[in-house]
Amino acid sequence: MLRLRVGAQMRTVLFSTEKWLNVEHPEMGLCPHEYGVIGSLATSGMGIVAQFHWDEFIKQNPDGDVDAALIKRCEQSKPAMVLATHVIQYAERNVKADIYGHIRDELKIPVVMLWGESAPDVVAHADALAPHVTLNLWIDTRAEWSKHTKFPEKCLRLFEPKDAALFNCDGDARRDIPLSFVGASFGRMDRSLNLGFLSGRSVGYFKAGGQRENPLSPADYAGFLKRSVVTMNFSSAVTFQHLTGRVIEAALCGAMLLESENSETSELLDPYADYVPFKEPFHWIGNGQIGFQDGDLAEKATHYAYQKPDEARAIAESGRRKVLERCDGREFWGKLFEALGIKDEDPT
């Protein structure tokens, strides 16, 4: 349930983000921010969305000045803050760092740079931007980024919010998929081996999605999660474990999360009460190598998806309630506004 504030004007957030997963291939679909931080602001009742898709501007205006266009958008929308992204692969096509510094220092608008992965090379880019932004915001781990940053005082960690208008249990979708994996396995050797291990043990599962394999619309992606009794997730980022967006999306859609063991998800959800961890048969052991161990993925998948689906549904509902309370946008935006000293606007 949304909690709207009475007697206060809503705060506008300008999102300076990419529109597409891949600017060269728009057919791959929209960037997940559209149904993550962006969608959560409006559906949680915490603010008003203004947008500037810098990749779309560059694509449509190859000779245009993206930096000047962003400044103009700030002057037009007069936001309480700018939440921005920087895509490492786009290099010089990103908005320049000093432009964000101008927005922060000259226009007096706080600038928050959102980062979805705490890998060392990503943290290095965040550090390069740190002198020009108000905060670097991390959503995937509680502390991995802190091992690499030179500017810990400029960092904040929050759980990623999701658009509850898309990820929910509303409607009459039937739970007709006992076990699913809705994500990428192409180029993810550990995932491919573990899924193959399940097949070898005659554990049936439904597979869909993957950016390169079979791109799904947001509605189709959420639809498969809503139809799943149990859905699997893998938390490895090869050299560290992280909290993926699928954890929150699956829980909001009422699917029981069966996820590889890690220390991140348990910060948000209680093991066996809100989700079920499993030990991966195939797992990264360092130096780009994968090892094998006596895992319990097949046993737990069989138990919860096929033998005890009612038990799975009870765990899923507990997880759904907890994630709805913490990841529908109210906590994220409330804590971010508080960190920046942004208050409700006086309607007078």
* pLDDT tens digits along 177-225: 999 999 999 889 999 999 999 999 999 999 999 877 788 999 999 999 9
Judged against a pLDDT cut of 90, whether residue 5 lies above it is answered with no
pLDDT digits (tens, 9 = 90+) for 79-96: 999 999 999 999 999 999
- Residues 206-232, buried b or exposed e (16+ Cβ, 10 A)? ebbbbbeeebbebeebbbbbbbbbbbb
Tens of pLDDT, residue by residue over 38-75, are 999 999 999 999 999 999 999 999 999 999 999 999 99
- Per-residue confidence band for 348, with pLDDT thresholds at 50, 70 and 90: very low
CA distance 191 to 284: 10
Which pLDDT band holds residue 25 (cuts at 50, 70, 90)?
Answer: confident
Q: Can you give the pLDDT at residue 144?
A: 97
pLDDT of 4 higher than 70: no
Q: Which pLDDT score, from 0 to 100, does residue 215 have? A: 86
Contact 125, 86 (CB under 8 A): yes
Please, what is the Cα angle at 121 between 117 and 124, to 5 degrees?
Answer: 100
Residues 6+ apart with CB under 8 A from 250: 225, 228, 231, 233, 257
Question: Which of these ranges, 70-84, 141-155, 280-294, has the smallest mean pLDDT?
Answer: 280-294
Q: How far is CA 60 from CA 23, 28, 55, 70, 95, in A?
A: 11, 18, 9, 14, 15
Give the pLDDT confidence score for residue 345 in this predicted structure: 63
| Residues contacting 42, CB < 8 A, separation 6+ | 48, 49
Report field, pTM of the whole predicted structure over 0.85? yes
27 confidence band (pLDDT: 50, 70, 90)? confident
Beta strands across the sheet bearing 206-208: 206-208, 177-182, 228-233, 256-260, 276-278
Instruction: Please write down the HEC assignment for all residues of the chain.
Output: CCCCCCCCECCEEEEEECCECCCCCHHHCECHHHHCHHHHHHHCCCCEEEEEEHHHHHHHCCCCCHHHHHHHHHHHHCCCEEEECCCHHHHHHCCCHHHHHHHHHCCCCCEEEEECCCCHHHHHHHHHHHHHCCEEEECCCCCHHHHCCCCHHHEEECCCCCCCCCCCCCCCCCCCEEEEEECCCCCCHHHHHHHHHHHHCCCCCEEECCCCCCCCCHHHHHHHHHHEEEEEECCECCCCECCCHHHHHHHHCCCEEEEECCCCHHHCCCECCCEEEECCCEEEEECCEEEECCCCHHHHHHHHHHHCHHHHHHHHHHHHHHHHHHHCCHHHHHHHHHHHCCCCECCC
